[in-house]
Amino acid sequence: MRLTGHRACGVAMALVGALAAGAPASARDSGAGAYLAARQADQRGDVEASARYFARALQDDPDDRALLEAGASALVAAGRVDEAEAAAERLAALDPSHRIVALIRAAQAFKRADFAAARALLADQPDAFHPLMLKLMQGWAAQGAGDAAAARAAFETVGDRPVLRLFGQYHLGLMLMQNGDAEGALAAFEAAQAEVTAPTSRLSTAHGGALEALGRGPEALAVYEAALAASRFGDPAMEAAIARLAAGGAAPLLVASAAEGASEALFGLAGALVGESGGRVALIHARLATHLRPSLTAAQLLVAELMDADGQPELALAAYAAVPGDDPLWTRAQIRRAAALEQLERGDAAVETLRALTARETHAAEAHIALADLLRRREAYVESAEAYGRAIEIVEAAGRADWTLFYQRGVAHERAGAWDAAEADFKRALTLSPDQPLVLNYLGYSWVEMGRNLDEAMAMIRMAVDMRPDDGYITDSLGWVHYRLGNFAEAVEWLEKAVALAPVDPVINDHLGDALWRVGRRLEAQFQWKRARSFDPEPKDLARIKRKLALGLDAVLEEEAAAAPAPHEAMGRDGG
């Protein structure tokens, strides 16, 4: 279970200082080429190259403290924990209490089932661990050593804050399930559930498993269904649990050993550290979690997502591929794989991946949504609308509805030229969620462009601006509506605000230029058009801007009026 609501700043900042410290001259002078290559790879997030070059640098200078610190960290981040242990042991000769040394030693003690060593390390170096991690690891080390009383005491004293009680009770329940005490585990899981505002997948899996072990299948089903209902577009783990229960299958232990319990603790803290320190410390904990339990696919997926977020989609692809096809998280891994392929500008492969996924997982709403989003970005609007439609069918069949799906399908319909279908979707989105500024803005702006429902349209856009006053795109819509209605002074006022909020948007600068021209501020208008030209506008818009700079707006409008009816300017600024 990931500790998503808890900011573990202490461990993040301490480890960053220790693991990412700059190297002194001795490190640079010895194996300089490998060292510099390692640092460059580290800076661009390429953990595999970083580990490879640090390992090479350590061959040239195996006792340099800075190299040992950075090398041990890089090797763990790359998943080469056994090699990292060798560097950590050499570092221990220089600094026995170093945090990376303690972390690697603790993980390796669990891996080898040397629980006495793990307990001794945790007792001797408590300051090397985050307080949450310390208690959880102490509990699992005691469990591994057969000291259930000490394990229980550790889990029950994790802390008084709700998030700490949540983790303490969750791990207590996992330990009691291992020991065959399903009644005690159920009480612990219920206490953990009391600390969350909405059901979580991992806790609900454990909670339902305890109920199943007690022969209370209908109650377990209710737990799974509640977690599924709380998810936005479905939860593969809950869907798998419901299907297994219906087929009469027994619930497996979520955590079957002390080492797996330690892996669960490392994974939980990794989730807490996401977003801290560029994700490197989170990656180290996630890698140690998968080292202790390679089958923990949730941690595998987190590793991949962290590398993806660090600008390494190629490395992420390999990590996504490690998720087995029969795992409930495989669908999510394939969606992320497609996103990585798109990032690598392999859009056709991304589409192929998602088409294959939706053909196999026909009832996975999130797969159809991912395909629809990708097709929309690739301007395949008709196909995108069809994919959104399938997602809507799946979500509604499950008794849910989501305004965003109707909004996104409406955008796809509008871009495809199917206005009646788009309008119906925007209205349905507002029925589901009446005060959504994005929908109010898009529908209101579109009506103004068509000269329809002008009073209602203006009211909708004003409401959107009131709700999102710092959104330059929505503010631009209000200014441009005033312009279209001939209220040029008001248009200038709002468009100046929009440019201040989104100063490098070419469309907003172009709009302001037109409004300034209309109120007689010709030099300022030309300045705004030049700014718009410099911000990489769409080719069609760029050509029009150049004509305005050469001839002035009046001449361009006369040209357009004399020609065939021009298409409407881009409708529905969507707030970014």
Task: Tell me the three state secondary structure of residue 129.
Answer: coil
| pLDDT over 70 percentage in the chain | 91
Alpha-carbon distances, residue 182 vs 214, 224, 254, 470 (angstroms): 7, 17, 13, 53
- Mean pLDDT comparison of 229-238, 248-257, 320-329, highest-scoring range: 248-257
Domain count, the chain: 1
Strand intervals (E) in 265-308: none
Q: What is the CATH number of the domain that holds 479?
A: 1.25.40.10
Mean local confidence (pLDDT), 104-124: 97
| 220: pLDDT strictly greater than 80 | yes
pLDDT tens for 536-562 read: 999 999 999 999 999 999 999 999 998
Structure tokens at 360: 């196999």
Query: Could you tell me if residue 493 is inside a domain?
Result: yes
Is 475 inside any structural domain? yes
What pLDDT was estimated at residue 565?
53
Mean pLDDT, the chain, integer: 89
Q: What is the pLDDT of residue 194?
A: 95
Residue 255 forms part of a structural domain = no
Note the residue count of the chain.
Answer: 576
pLDDT, position 520: 97
Q: Has residue 485 been placed in a domain? A: yes
The secondary structure of 40-88, three-state, reads: HHHHCCCHHHHHHHHHHHHHHCCCCHHHHHHHHHHHHHCCCHHHHHHHH
- Cα Rg, the chain, nearest whole Å: 29
Q: What pLDDT, on a 0 to 100 scale, did the predictor assign at position 22?
A: 39
Report yes or no on 222 lying in a domain. no
**Dist CA 399 CA 421 (whole Å):** 23
pLDDT at 510: 98
Over the stretch 455-505, which tens digit does the pLDDT of each residue have? 899 999 999 999 999 999 999 999 999 999 999 999 999 999 999 999 999
Triad 400, 406, 410: Cα angle to 5°: 170
pLDDT beyond 50 at 295 = yes
Q: Is pLDDT above 60 for 226? A: yes
**378-409 tens-digit pLDDT:** 999 999 999 999 999 999 998 888 999 999 99
Contact 125, 97 (CB under 8 A): yes
For range 443-461, the mean pLDDT = 91
- Dist. CA 143–CA 258, nearest whole Å: 6
pLDDT for res 492? 98
From CA 490, how far away is CA 492, in angstroms rounded? 5
Q: Tell whether the model's pLDDT for residue 147 goes beyond 50.
A: yes
CA-based torsion, 155, 156, 161, 163: positive or negative: positive
Least confident of 312-316, 349-353, 533-537: 312-316
In this structure, of 11-25, 131-145, 428-442, 473-487, the range with the lowest mean pLDDT score is 11-25
Identify whether 491 is part of a domain.
yes
In-domain check, residue 396 = no
Span 420-442, mean pLDDT?
A: 97
Between 49 and 158, whose confidence is greater? Answer: 158
Residue-wise pLDDT for 62-106, tens only, equals: 788 888 888 899 899 999 999 999 999 999 999 888 999 999 999
Give the structural domain span for 533: 460-562
0.85 surpassed by pTM: no
pLDDT (0 to 100) of residue 34: 77
Backbone angles phi, psi at 395, to 5 degrees: -65, -45
Closest CA to 215 of 192, 186, 254: 186
Give tens-digit pLDDT for 42-59: 777 778 877 787 778 777
Taking the C-alpha atoms of residue 85 and residue 76, their distance in angstroms, rounded to an integer, is 9
Domain assignment present for 528: yes
Q: What is the predicted pLDDT for the residue at 278?
A: 55
Give 276's pLDDT tier (boundaries 50, 70, 90).
low
Nearest to 75 by CA among 98, 97, 42: 42
